[in-house]
Amino acid sequence: MAAPGPARIGRSSVPASRCGGVGPGLPMERVSTGPPPGPRPRASESAVPRPHRTRRRVLVASAVAVAAGAGLAGSTTATGAELLPGITIPGLPTVPTTPAPAPTPSPSPTVPGTPTPTPVEPETPIPGPGGLKAGACATRYVSTRDLTARQRLVATTPSGGMPDGVVTDPVFSRDSRANRFLAYTSTATNIAVPVQAGRRNVFMAIRGGRVSPNANPWSLGSNQIVSVGMGGTAADGDSWGAAIAGSTGRNDRAVTPKVLAFLSTATNLAPGGNPTGTSAFVRPVYGGAVRRLDVPGAATGVAVSGDSSVVYVSTDRGLYVQRGGRTRRLVGGPGITSPSTTLNGRQAAFERSGTIYTVTIDGRTRRIAAGSHPHADGGDPYPGRRGGYVRAISFVRDGGAWRAETIGGPVLLKRFGTTQSRSSTNGGGNAVAFGNGRHACLEVRLLDRTQRRGGYSIPQGACPVGQGTVSDVAVSTRYNYLAFTCTGGGLYLHYVGPK
């Protein structure tokens, strides 16, 4: 893959391939996550480029409150929840931020419960306490911006209506900026047929309309069911946990995915049934026969490389890799789940009993960190000894969305924010998506030792009122699109922007 030119962020120039490219050119609402107000760095020293003065935006930062001569107060609150196996989010006490200095010599502290001020024009700093929420993508984020304006319902009935079941497990195809496919799991019976009531099935939303090189808004073409039994019958068991291929060729060309993999307990998907109870299956993206992967043990996870040549399967007996029709065990023993791999499949990440590891295709393992639900980036794009090796892994730990940077030397860990969902990273490894309350969050940080913020530390979409909170997220290869599901139903796709 041809290496893109340098991306300029602040005063640091880094290769675009190390940071996933320059972010979509959209107005940003900045959020203060640093220490109490004090001496501020000069604007020229900021890690995030200043938007053009004519853009309409709300400056969500404590510095704005200082400039406006107003106090800034807020808190981040999370309630206990267990939305994923083994992930419990304990309740966090409400902790008010330090009030911003007022122009008077003896400022009084912010009074809790101060009402939110009336929304004003985006260019004008919001005056008064209580109107802003400190923290990146905080649970009770307050904004004059309509967070749902750039999103659309993707898992729909043929007439465009809401599905009659729960939707989970969204995952994009990794074909550069095209991202033509979005796979997901649902119990709905009114999206596509054939289905059996009460069963989970794997579906796929197919992109329609024109696809521009710089990622124009995503249009829905159709929804299709993937987990179909032989002879066009409904699957007689549950199917879930899809993984889909897709890659990037020379000159940033999108390479269409060939296969999609998923897990199922159904016995009528392929010849031979399902002798292990739960198996991994593979199907061509554009339709065709479903094939069972003959791997020892009951499957717990599956991952497919971007070029469709390598498949990793975790079972209750270990982690296996299948390439060129040959199957090999890389790691033995139970407790392995959630494999994910890079574009060429040379390395994968996986979880084992609350700890995240990487493993090369020839079986060399490395302990990364404590955590769960790892998601690997697209891998090092440069040819050579480490070409295709994992550069970054997003994961969940202690109610937070984290990223582990694995580029040479010691592992570098960074917490991105509070979450009640799985997290997801993009192909370049610099963007991490996660759910926090109703908000679908996306934060971009440079993939180097500085880990400086590159923007988008604000909500990128939200579950509509009455549809619960974000349960699962997925971010596209170049973070042009963010997909998320809501506990009350619905799969939405938010358009972050072109780049």
Domain presence at residue 429: yes
The answer to whether 336 touches 317, Cβ cutoff 8 Å, is no
- pLDDT for position 113: 42
- What is the C-alpha radius of gyration for the chain, rounded to an integer number of angstroms? 23
> Does any domain span residue 204?
yes
Instruction: Check residue 100 and give its pLDDT.
Output: 45
pLDDT of res. 239: 98
Domain count, the chain: 1
Which residues of the chain are modeled with pLDDT < 50?
1-135
Residues in a beta bridge with 444: 431, 455
Supply the pLDDT for residue 456: 63
Task: Tell me, yes or no, whether 382 lies in a domain.
Answer: yes
User: Looking at residue 298, what is its pLDDT?
Assistant: 97
Q: What's 330's domain CATH number?
A: 2.130.10.10
Whether residue 219 lies inside any domain: the answer is: yes
Residue 445 lies in a domain: yes
Report pLDDT for 191.
97
Contact residues for 302 (Cβ-Cβ < 8 A; gap 6+): 241, 243, 261, 262, 263, 280, 293, 311, 312, 313, 314, 339
pLDDT in tens, 439-490: 999 988 888 888 887 766 567 899 999 999 999 999 999 999 999 999 998 9
According to the model, what pLDDT value does residue 283 have?
96
pTM of the model: 0.74
The whole-number pLDDT of residue 143 equals 66
Give the pLDDT confidence score for residue 142 in this predicted structure: 65
What pLDDT sits at residue 141?
A: 64
In one letter, which amino acid is 371? G
Per-residue confidence (pLDDT) for residue 4, from 0 to 100: 42
On whether residue 88 sits in a domain, the answer given is: no
Would you state the pLDDT for residue 53?
40
Q: Which pLDDT belongs to residue 74?
A: 34
- Kindly tell me the burial class for residue 370, based on how many C-beta atoms sit within 10 Å of its own C-beta (0-12, 13-18, 19 or more): middle
Q: Domain of 316? A: 151-495
Whether residue 471 is contained in a domain is answered as yes
Domain assignment present for 188: yes
- Res 123: pLDDT: 28
Q: Which pLDDT value is given to residue 183?
A: 98
